[in-house]
Structure 1
Amino acid sequence: MPPATPTPAPHLIGRLRQVRLLALDVDGVLTDGRLYFQADGIEIKAFHTHDGHGIKLLQRAGIVTALITGRDSPMVSQRAAALGIRHVHQGVADKLDVLSELCQRLDIGLEHVAYCGDDMPDIAAIRHAGVGISVPGAPSYIRRHADWVTATPGGHGAVREICDTLLQAQGHWDAVLDIYLHGTR
């Protein structure tokens, strides 16, 4: 049976098999990019539950996850804690620098990283990661630097599309499905 998730170009599958770290921008990738503020100034963000479950599945498969965002938001910290994401970097101006430092700490080469972003601060990380990913809502001048542009928009399951595709490429998909189809662990 064919996979239910769209896959990137066939030449990327080999690179996806090598991914050990998925690093994500937040606004525009895990959210739809809109910022909501209450009258008291408190920021509100909406995250898609499918993305969160995909991140948990990746972590169970041994793939490290990280968030690297230019904004600083308590909502990001809360969401990361709920998902068990230990590597959270907020208020970042140079995302490639932070990604490179994280890779060094984790002993993971940039060629083993999938990075997804949607705006100018993400270009360098997209270009230097083993698999650079963007979302359809990103400007064309960002998308053209990506190896893969998801079919699903940011904030609407794009991260789940990435997670499912990584799990499929790395041979974890049948085991993941089996857990939910048959209750096997």
Structure 2
Amino acid sequence: MGKILSPEQLKKEIEKLKKKGKKIVFTNGCFDIIHVGHIRYLKEAKKLGNVLIVAINSDSSVRKIKPLRPINPENERAEVLSAMQFVDFVTLFNEDTPYELIKYLQPDVLVKGGDWKIQDIVGADLVKEAYSLPYVEGVSTTEIINKILNKYKNFNIQPSAETIEKAKKVKFLILDVDGVLTRGDIILDDENNEFKIFNVRDGHGLVMLHKAGIKIAVITGRHSKALQRRMKELGITEVHQGTREKLKIFYEIVKKFNLKKEEIAAMGDDIIDLSILSRAGLSFAPQDAHEEVKKNVDMVTQCKAGQGAVREICDIILKAKGLWDKFIDEYSNL
């Protein structure tokens, strides 16, 4: 017999165990996302007796208490708990509280976390012993969910349907350089020569865009011979260096190529780029861009600046426009 039992099956097991003199400990909860607080709590609960039973709220029961939960379905939550060596049995209940289940199973000990006062523990009147175990401060499923939401709220792991639709219309890509095409490091020698490190995959992505008929421009406030050389290698002629008036250059490009807003994609990493990003039909930022920029773009790439961020958006544009397979076929048949 496995560890996950129905209340009826569990009742029979408890009766057998009590005849052997075993002390039965009962606890309950959602146990949605298992964390260190759960582990410590369950270990301590097991020490209060010989057999530990964990009753978990069914999915319907959880939704009555927390409408947006559970994150993980009841069968998976039960399986995770049953894999723990200090948990002897797992069962589910559909009610709002486990009161009727406790009454039915008749455990010896009832345990809850320290956020419960003993007098408030549901079912405490039905057992011989009731305990409220220490609560691990700052550790809860809700805290974990909030951390994830805060950390990734501006980080779209995959392009959204809206981003893909916008990418289909792109005819022109405008890029910042430092912090986009490079990591943002500035390397100068004693003779004031500036060195830059470019990513090969970024470069090939731009080559594919160029071949697909999508024009590219770079706009940067600095001036570098290295950038001029690299852009020449990639066949990019719209290279605007040494300008702080990026918006002026943007409008010149729009006029020169007769562009509509929805035909322009742009990528930048710092607040100076917001003037262009806000006027582009589709805007991107690298993963390590300034937080203010990430709040104001359509998508934040998985990759960091100078480490594949530009290639990532090149691939998105090509796939959205239905041009990706053309390059796969071309390179597969070389």
TM-score of Structure 1 vs Structure 2, range by shorter chain: over 0.9
Give the whole-Å Cα distance in 1 for the aligned partners of 2:247 and 2:319.
27
- The aligned amino acid for 2:315 is D
Contact 1:36 1:44 in 2 (8 A): yes
Match of 1:18 in 2: 169
SS in structure 1 of the partner of residue 190 of structure 2: coil
Q: Which TM-score applies when normalising by structure 1? A: 0.93
Paired position in structure 1 for 2:104: none
What's the secondary structure of 1:145's corresponding residue?
coil
Separation in structure 1 between the aligned mates of residue 252 and residue 193 of structure 2, nearest angstrom: 31
1:18-167 matched pairs, under 5 angstroms? 18-167=169-318
Query: Aligned partners of 1:71 and 1:7: how far apart in 2?
Result: 32
Question: Once the 2 structures are TM-superposed, how far is the Cα of residue 82 of structure 1 from its aligned partner?
Answer: 0.8
Cα shift readout 1:118-164 (whole Å, capped 9, x = no counterpart) = 01210111111000111111111111111111110010011110111
Flag the structure with more relative contact order, 1 or 2, with Cα contacts below 8 A and sequence separation at least 6. Answer: 1
| Cα deviations by residue, 1:83-118 (Å, 9 ceiling, x for unpaired) | 110101111212222112101101111221100000
Residue pair 2:212, 2:323 contacting (<8 A) in 1 also: yes
TM-superposed CA distance for 1:39, in Å, is: 2.6
Between the aligned partners of 1:174 and 1:85, the Cα distance in structure 2 is 23
Quick check: 1:7–1:165 contact (8 Å CA) kept in 2? no
Give the secondary-structure state (helix, strand or coil) at the position aligned to 1:128. Answer: coil
Structure 2: which 5+ runs fail to align?
1-156
SS at match of 2:278: helix
Structure 1 residue 41: Cα displacement:
2.1
Question: What root-mean-square deviation, in Å, do the aligned CA atoms of Structure 1 and Structure 2 show?
Answer: 1.1
Instruction: Supply the distance in 1 between the matched residues of 2:162 and 2:317 (Cα, whole angstroms).
Output: 14
1:25 Cα deviation after fit: 0.3
- Letter of the 1:49 partner, please give it: V
Tell me the equivalent position of 1:179: 330
* Number of equivalent positions: 178
* Structure 1: runs of 5 or more not aligned: 1-5
TM-score when scaled to structure 2? 0.52
- State which of 315, 321, 327 in structure 2 corresponds to 1:170: 321
Deviation at 1:11, TM superposition (A): 1.2
CA distance in 2, matches of 1:7, 1:59: 24
Q: Distance in 1 between matches of 2:202 and 2:250?
A: 21
Larger Rg: 2
In 1, Cα distance between equivalents of 2:247 and 2:167? 19
Contact 1:100 1:110 in 2 (8 A): no
Aligned residues with identical type, % of pairs? 39
